[in-house]
Structure 1
Amino acid sequence: MQVLTPHVYWAQRHREVYLRVELSDAKNVDISLQENNTLQFRAQGHGAKGDNQYMFTLEFLEPVKPEIHHKSTQRQVDIKIRKQEERWWDRLTLQEKRPLFLAPDFDRWLDESDAETELQAKEEQRLNKISIESRLRKDPYLGLKKGYLFMYNLVQFLGFSWIFVNMTVRLFILGQDSFYDTFHTMADMMYFCQMMAVFEVINPLLGLVKTGFFPALIQVAGRNVILFVIFGSLEEMQNKPVVFFVFYLWSTIETFRYPFYMLACIDTDWPVLTWLRYNLWIPLYPLGVVAEAVAVIQSLPIFDESRLFSLLLPAALGHSLSFSYTLQLYLVLMFLGLFINVRHLYKLRQRRYRSRKRKVH
């Protein structure tokens, strides 16, 4: 088989020499450095003369280190060689006349001044990184914090998924009849999950998570008003279909939100779950607030009639102030909270997709 010479392109920096051998699908690549500072290359591949055995030798201008790093791709073989001394070479080879198969690699070519600028920039970047890392104090409790957050999200995921699965099964089996006893079958687990959700307000205050304190407070407080005040204190509300829709919308959102945060604790990203986390809230969150508003409106006449939680007033002002007035104000605040939380979630969504685009590019 005829032995041929491939096209070789070179470039340099103060510390390294780069060679790019135009040989696709290279096999049996053998690269060695001889005692006389000569690089010897031999490989089987597809070059300018088709599929053949290709080889070349280069005697470098100055000594290089014996460690040679190379990487073969479908199109070429990339070689990186370290210089013994960090200095700029006038040419690559000891012989003044450049070999015919050798040419500058203009994709990586820099003159000496540009290379010096690049070297200074890398050194400044390295020193800045060292300076920043020295100022950052490593958190000795990071593993413990991640373990706590993982377990919290796991418990919440199991609780809300239990509610979601049970309500779905009951809906398929009983149909509309399942609307009327949702509270009696699901309330205990929902009580547990919503009491646990108080930690979502505490965690940002302790610096365990980077999410905002006020959006978490608005959501947790709003849901607890609906659950404990509207549904929990009024037996007349517990058999209404609106309970089903409120519980079902809450559990659907959380069944995908908590496992997303749970996997984030172990630096794992599941694309399907990530997409659901940042898109499912768009229809479900406003629907959940609408369902909560319906529950509040339905409870107003019941609070007026029962005088539950009414505020006693002096005789000159009347007997009492109905709690329904407080709930009417709460309705306005509910939709204000919807705007704040939707704006917050939209910003999180935009930030997430911008960061993913940067990673792709």
Structure 2
Amino acid sequence: MADMTKPAKKASPVKNGYLILYNAISATLWLTVLGRVIGANAMRGHQYAYPAAGEFCKWTQTLAGMEVLHSLLGIVRAPLFTTFMQVFSRYAIVWGITDQFPSLTTSPAYSSMLVAWATTEVIRYSYFALTLSGWQPKALHWLRYHAFFVLYPLGISSEAWLIWRAVGPARDAGMELYSWVLLGYVVLVYPPSAYILYTHMMTQRRKVMKVLKAQNEKATQ
């Protein structure tokens, strides 16, 4: 995922405080989603993931729309297009798929998607909240730039499966045009979008690793 909450420059105390609060609240909300999904799967089965976390996740993800505004206003150093693309893809899932066709949420793919989303966001938001507070745990830093290797493919494949499976229910409901939109989205739009987001994160990782390598080399001199 893009670095949507990384400050562009040395932030003012007000801006810094706002970003710390925003990231801390978002991390807590996603941790709640993760706990609810894992609890539902462990105690009752994946069929109960949506009743346990679906609505809460929908509104938690809706809050992330603030990140487009953050990028647009220059509050954070994040590319607007990449930020919008990621937020829009999530909106398409929570509002256009699972909210419209809740029967799809009984599949294991829905639970795996939420686990991937929530884990990624807990790491990301916690990382930024602590970094902005002047503290950067090494373990969290490592997770921020390595966990996506597993979490991204898991989340993206789960999302694509749900969109694909929504084509049939949309046609059955008489939403013929919508079914073609979904089909076109998962076949034509999703692959390049996923590639752009994944390679963006790879680029971010290379930059961070390069800085760390330079710092380590300087420290050993």
Aligned twin of 1:354: 210
Identity percentage over the alignment?
23
Which residue is 2:4 aligned to?
Answer: none
Matches within 5 A, 1:130-141: none
Counterpart residue identity of residue 161, structure 1: L
1:232 paired with 2:102, answer no
1:35-57 residue CA offsets vs partner (Å, 9 max, x unmatched): xxxxxxxxxxxxxxxxxxxxxxx
* CA distance in structure 2 between the partners assigned to 1:304 and 1:187 by the alignment: 23
Contact 2:116 2:151 in 1 (8 A): yes
Choose 1 or 2 for highest CA Rg: 1
Q: In the TM superposition, what are the counterparts of 1:33-44 in structure 2 within 5 Å?
A: none
| Cα distance in structure 2, aligned partners of 1:204 and 1:265 | 17
Q: Give yes or no for the alignment of 1:328 onto 2:207.
A: no
Q: Counterpart of 1:238 in 2: which secondary structure?
A: helix
- Which structure has more RCO (C-alpha within 8 Å, separation ≥ 6)? 2
* Aligned partner letter, 2:213: K
Q: In 2, are the aligned partners of 1:184 and 1:238 still within 8 Å (CA)?
A: no
- Report the AA paired with residue 264 of structure 1: T
TM-score of the pair, normalised by structure 2: 0.88
Q: 2:90 aligns with which of 208, 223, 229?
A: 223
Correspondence for 2:141 among 253, 270, 274: 274
2: CA distance, partners of 1:342 / 1:148: 28
Where does 1:240-259 land on structure 2 (aligned, <5 Å)? 240-259=107-126
Following superposition, the deviation at residue 337 of structure 1 comes to 0.8
Change (3 A) 1:173 1:238: closer
**Equivalences for residues 141-180 of structure 1 within 5 A:** 142-174=12-44, 178-180=45-47
Structure holding more helix per residue? 2
Let me know the Cα RMSD of the aligned residues: 1.7
TM-score, normalization: structure 1? 0.55
Give 2:198's match in structure 1, choosing from 309, 321, 342. Answer: 342
* Contact kept in structure 1, 2:36 and 2:49, CA below 8 Å: no
Q: Structure 2: how far apart are the matches of 1:235 and 1:339?
A: 28
Structure 2, unmatched stretches of 5+, are 1-8
CA–CA distance in 2 between the matches of 1:350 and 1:232?
A: 37
Q: Which amino acid aligns with 1:282?
A: F
Cα deviation, residue 173, structure 1: 2.7
Cα offsets for 1:303-353 (capped at 9, x unmatched):
111123x4xxxxxxxxxxx21111111112111111111111011101001
Once the two structures are TM-superposed, the CA of residue 207 in structure 1 deviates from its matched residue by 1.1
The answer on whether the counterparts of 2:40 and 2:48 sit within 8 Å (CA) in structure 1 is no
Q: How many residues align?
A: 208
Q: Give structure 1 stretches of 5+ with no counterpart.
A: 1-137, 311-321
Partners of 2:36 and 2:52 within 8 A in 1? no
